[in-house]
Amino acid sequence: MKSPRQSSLFPVFKFDLNRTLIEANNASMPLLEKWGWNIQEGLPKKVMTEFPQIFHSILSQKPSDIIVSMDGFNVRFCIVPFPEAGYVGMYAYSLEAISGMARTSFPVKSEVEPSVTAN
């Protein structure tokens, strides 16, 4: 049985306090491809530059929000550090179409593909 995080239609990422990706669900795959981020790799510098809130959230150990635009959508994420557990969760919670964009649905990978987790 899939966990709620794995079967979520919203992207979910889990990375360690050194910003190395340790888990991602199916819905996160388009963003991972866009950012060039893979399991057991550090968060790309271009992402840290565009979204410094990620770094500040890790340092302050306080949640923060970011908005990521992709394929005609704004995806809102909550970044929640869990320092005692050694990881940060990045959870999408809202998906809004950008007006005037042609796409009608967010690109989601096939349900057949498993979520990816570091070994």
CA distances to 44, 62, 67, 73 from 106, in Å: 23, 29, 15, 7
What is the CB neighbour count within 10 angstroms for residue 3?
10
* Residue pLDDT, tens place only, 8-25: 789 999 999 999 999 999
The residues, ordered by sequence, that sit 6+ positions from 8 with a Cβ below 8 Å of its Cβ are 25, 27
**What are the residue boundaries of the structural domains of the chain, listed by start?**
4-101
> What pLDDT sits at residue 9?
85
Single-letter amino acid code for the residue at 91: Y
Mean pLDDT across the chain, nearest whole number? 83
DSSP for residue 61: T
* Residue pLDDT, tens place only, 17-47: 999 999 999 999 999 999 999 999 999 999 9
The residues, ordered by sequence, that sit 6+ positions from 64 with a Cβ below 8 Å of its Cβ are 53, 54, 56, 57, 78, 79
pLDDT bucket at 66, cuts 50 / 70 / 90: very high
pLDDT bucket at 7, cuts 50 / 70 / 90: low
> What pLDDT sits at residue 113?
43
Q: What's the CA gap between 44 and 20, in Å, rounded?
A: 10
* Residue pLDDT, tens place only, 68-99: 998 888 999 999 999 999 999 999 999 888 87
pTM of the model: 0.77
Q: Is the pLDDT of residue 108 over 70?
A: no
| CATH superfamily name and code, 4-101 | PAS domain (3.30.450.20)
Q: What's the CA gap between 19 and 70, in Å, rounded?
A: 22
DSSP reduced 3-state for 42: strand
